[in-house]
Amino acid sequence: MFLFKNITEYQAALLAGQQTCAQAVQHYLDQIAEHQNLNAYLEVYAEEAIQRAKELDSKASSKQLVGKLHGVVVGIKDVLCYKDHKVTASSKILENYTAVYSATAIENLLAEGAIIIGRQNCDEFAMGSSNENSAYGPVKNALNTSLVPGGSSGGSAVAVQAGLCMVSLGSDTGGSVRQPADFCGVVGLKPSYGMISRYGLIAYASSFDQIGIFSSNIEDAALVLEVIAGADNFDSTVANLPVPSFSTILDQKDTHTTPKKVAYFKETLEHSGLDAEIKTKTLAYLESLRLKGYTVEAVDFSLLSYLVPTYYVLTTAEASSNLSRFDGIRFGHRTSKPLDDLTELYKLSRTEGFGEEVQRRILLGSFVLSAGYFDAYFTKAQQVRQQLVDLTNSLFKDYDILVSPTVPSTAFEIGKHQHSATEMFLADIYTVYANLVGIPAISIPLFKHSNGMPFGLQVMSKSFNETALLQFSKEMMKA
């Protein structure tokens, strides 16, 4: 039986000759075939993955693996470019488009011996909180197929949840890794903005987007982060900082750096939209931290109600600009109807190619950037964002860790909020903060609701302090 606690244990079996990469790949291919109803994968690279596994098996010796991720089977969200492979952002407008280069994160995975097994379903252009906006049908939660897996990286979360790969790469613009991780009961990590190169990630909102990681444990997330993080000449927004060896410092105990002071925003637990059971269990958990010697204090946060409006004003504005490149001229879908007018060609191609939610956000973004409304909406939203950054910098002078619920409810029924944009947007109320201010955040699966579904705790730290974030999260998972 193929069953390992983490990547380290799996690789130990490889070194001991108890397992081969080829056997691992075949196991996951069998699992994917068995769970096709979940719609987690849009394309599986079966032959290619088997061939790469055989090559890795032939290169490895009894004492040495090829790289840090030797033989690790990875799935990638359908917004990451992988040269000579299709990438569609789960949209008809990029149907059958083939990437002409690989994302830096993908190159880093391959350089360290990873095996990419397929591309995973997601909300179209990463716009959604339920994975119902994909042009290729919704992804289903493996624990209850009548429920959503969360979005936009639902396929990537379900693939780890259902054991269809070891780890997945997703993207997180406002919670698109953490929210589905919460709904699916897995670990979902969004690093600091600038920790991982965005080169090769199809852009939604460039000042928010960040590649994130799904795993079943903290150790695997730390190892993958260690591999894919770091400076990149192709992305000027990446910090030129050394990347810590996250996988080896997880268990190091240093009284000067180990996080002990925890804050939470009082208003997040008093919000009317928060499920009562999530509130009760979160408060009880915070009290358990106090009993273990942590300093746990409530902090006032008067800007909570401004988070979602600020986020959607800014991200839609950036999306309207980023998605203007999809015009049916150079690549992607072009209407087949004969037209003599260029403007009509643009309009019809984009109307046919983009789904309803993407169209809504492009229109909203164009509106807030228009001459008469720029100052009223976009400028004010930028001012609120700066206030949030200032508050965050002040907060982390006194505290090591900030915690909150990840999502206000457990996974909801497919179709429940699909026709109510406002209700769907409110699902992001706790996750958008970390993207607005650029700090790292992780959702860790700690609880089970009386309805049988998992839910977690969101943990945040100051920018580029993933070490403290991961150390604290591992302690929480152990407990």
DSSP 174-212: SSTTHHHHHHHTSEEEE--TTSB--TTBPPSSTTT-EEE
DSSP 233-281: TT-TTS---PPP-HHHHTT---TTTS--EEEEEHHHHH-TTS-HHHHHH
Specify the pLDDT at position 474. Answer: 96
Specify the pLDDT at position 54. Answer: 96
Instruction: Please pick, among 77, 140, 190, 281, the residue that the annotation labels catalytic.
Output: 77
| Strands of 63-208, DSSP E | 73-77, 115-120, 167-172, 187-190
Q: Are 463 and 439 in contact (CB under 8 A)?
A: yes
Specify the pLDDT at position 53. Answer: 97
Q: What is the mean pLDDT of each run of 10 residues along the chain (479 residues)?
A: 88 94 98 98 98 94 86 98 98 96 98 98 97 97 98 98 98 98 98 98 98 98 98 96 93 71 95 94 96 96 93 97 93 90 93 96 96 94 97 96 96 84 77 98 98 97 97 91
Cβ-proximal residues to 313 (8 Å cutoff; 6+ apart), any chain = 368, 377, 378, 381
Residue 103 burial (10 A CB sphere; 0-12, 13-18, 19+): buried
Q: In Å, what is the CA distance from 265 to each residue of 131, 401, 425, 433, 458? A: 28, 11, 20, 11, 12
Q: Are 401 and 289 in contact (CB under 8 A)?
A: no
Residue 437 burial (10 A CB sphere; 0-12, 13-18, 19+): buried
* First-residue to last-residue Cα distance in the chain: 28
- The yes-or-no answer on residue 478 being catalytic is no
For residue 13, how many other CB atoms are within 10 A of its CB?
16
Q: Are 403 and 439 in contact (CB under 8 A)?
A: no
For residue 331, how many other CB atoms are within 10 A of its CB?
14
Specify the pLDDT at position 12. Answer: 94
Residue 113: DSSP 8-state: T
- The yes-or-no answer on residue 347 being catalytic is no
For residue 390, how many other CB atoms are within 10 A of its CB?
11
Does the CA dihedral 171-176-181-183 come out positive or negative?
Answer: negative
Nearest to 71, CA basis, from 32, 112, 107, 31: 112
Q: Are 95 and 328 in contact (CB under 8 A)?
A: no
Residue 244 burial (10 A CB sphere; 0-12, 13-18, 19+): middle
Where do runs of H (alpha helix) occur along 418-465? 421-426, 432-437
Specify the pLDDT at position 479. Answer: 72
Instruction: Please pick, among 168, 176, 404, 473, the residue that the annotation labels catalytic.
Output: 176
Specify the pLDDT at position 64. Answer: 83
- The yes-or-no answer on residue 380 being catalytic is no
Identify the structural domains of the chain with CATH numbers, from first to last: 7-249 (3.90.1300.10)
Instruction: Please pick, among 134, 152, 197, 404, the residue that the annotation labels catalytic.
Output: 152
